[in-house]
Amino acid sequence: MSTPQTSIAPNAPALAAQVAPPSASLMSRPEFVWGVATASYQIEGAIAEDGRLPSIWDTFSATPGKVLHGDTGDGACDHYHRWSEDVDLIESLGVDAYRLSIAWPRVMHADGTPNRKGLDFYKKLLQRLADKGIQSFVTLYHWDLPQHLEDRGGWLNRDTAYRFAEYADLVSRELKGLVTGWATLNEPWCSAYLGYGNGHHAPGLSNGRYATQALHHLLLAHGLALPLLQANDPTAKRGIVANVGRGTTDSSKEADITAARRYEVQHNDWILQPLLKGSYPEELFKLWPGTEPLVLDGDMEIISRPLDFLGINYYFRCNLHSDGGTGFVDVPLEGVERTQMGWEVYPQGLEDLLRRFKDQYDRLPPIYITENGMASSDEVINGEVVDEQRMRFMKSHFAAVSRAMDAGVDVRGYFAWSLMDNFEWAFGYERRFGITHVDYQTQVRTLKHSGQAFKAFLALRRGS
């Protein structure tokens, strides 16, 4: 087992200042939750151990041409075996909380009975976190659908929503008392659009009608799970995590302004409006005519059940122009800062969206920023990883959240994406999002300068 390199430079205040939010920020309140985040398939590895079943991402990543360089999640960060060391790393950072996900294929057999070995893994992990005073925010579905359910139609099959409810029931009964907050789904937009709409993610299908129907069943699964989570683990918060995107235009043409608005309808309101208003945005189906999902009586009431919190994941904005019809095209701006993913660094977009959601949705629950981060091509040189761009990214986005809070947005916490470099889905291991570098050959973890600065900030916040 490797030992994380977590030393802090002697000048802690100067180091912390490289990422810290503005002085007197509401983010510095004692009750504000600071954390780091990961996801099961991206870090665990051990895909065939202790009864774990195949997932759609095992199938997808093993299909030639689907993932960059032919990478798979077979080994990932070997967290399944190194979890204790990784909890020590989390503790060393001084965070309040850790956001993780449960691997559905690891905890249930195909007949719906519990896989005790898989459940025991998460019980040990969560108990160790609790023993160290670290809150656990647990996501039930972070994209790793059991392959046997995909073979029966996956999220195109309404029955999958009911199988998810059974899974949520099992896991919340088994892990009750160990979880601070349950999130049903992570980024259903990605599961639906990237998985069923354009084929970029597992299961790799490409049909607009598939995307809207898959999204409806995902949200139905979410709504079905909420009362079960409440009954089984009543002291834990219940919510969902949505990825959001800022759409603007550099044009004054009405068609381009409309295109930018429709980007946000498709990217944000497609998810948030059914959750918070119980309806789908009509303008969505001007973008995608003829793709209205089959909605049965009572579905929208189930989907729009009250939430204790809303997780928001934010990474970038797009510059939109009209495609000449009802849709939009992304026209990348020149001369702007970008990350290894090619995404524009635009912290103002996070503030804009938080303020807009507050104004737009009367039922907006308290918000946690459950993912925010950037990829860079980091290397260990003389035992150090100097990632200055990530430190600037963190500081500017902390400031954006702080401004939104000053404007009255109820943000309760921030989770940096990610604790460590990991399997970045269709981009494999090339794109590094971690504040901790992972050598995938040796599994040595090295805290990057951004991680050291984050750690220094948290220590000063605690007064330690």
Q: Are 140 and 171 in contact (CB under 8 A)?
A: yes
Please name the residues in contact with 164: beta carbons below 8 A apart, sequence gap of 6 or more: 140, 141, 221, 224, 225
Q: How far apart are CA 108 and CA 115, in angstroms?
A: 5
Beta-bridge partners for 381: 384
Collapsed DSSP state (helix, strand, coil) of residue 451: helix
Q: How far apart are CA 414 and CA 401, in angstroms?
A: 9
Q: Side chain identity at 419, as an amino acid letter?
A: L
Q: How far apart are CA 278 and CA 306, in angstroms?
A: 11
Give DSSP secondary structure letters for 218-262.
Answer: HHHHHHHHHHHHHHH-TTSEEEEEEEEEEEE-S---HHHHHHHHH
Task: Check 150, 187, 264, 371 and give the catalytic one.
Answer: 371
- Please indicate whether residue 371 is annotated as part of the active site: yes
CB 306: neighbour CB atoms within 10 A?
A: 11
- 184 — phi, psi (to 5°)? -65, -55
How distant, in Å, are the alpha carbons of 94, 436, 462 from that of 9?
Answer: 16, 16, 18
Spell out the SS3 assignment of 386-433.
Answer: CCHHHHHHHHHHHHHHHHHHHCCCCEEEEEEECCCCCCCHHHCCCCEC
Q: How far apart are CA 216 and CA 200, in angstroms?
A: 19
Catalytic residues: 371
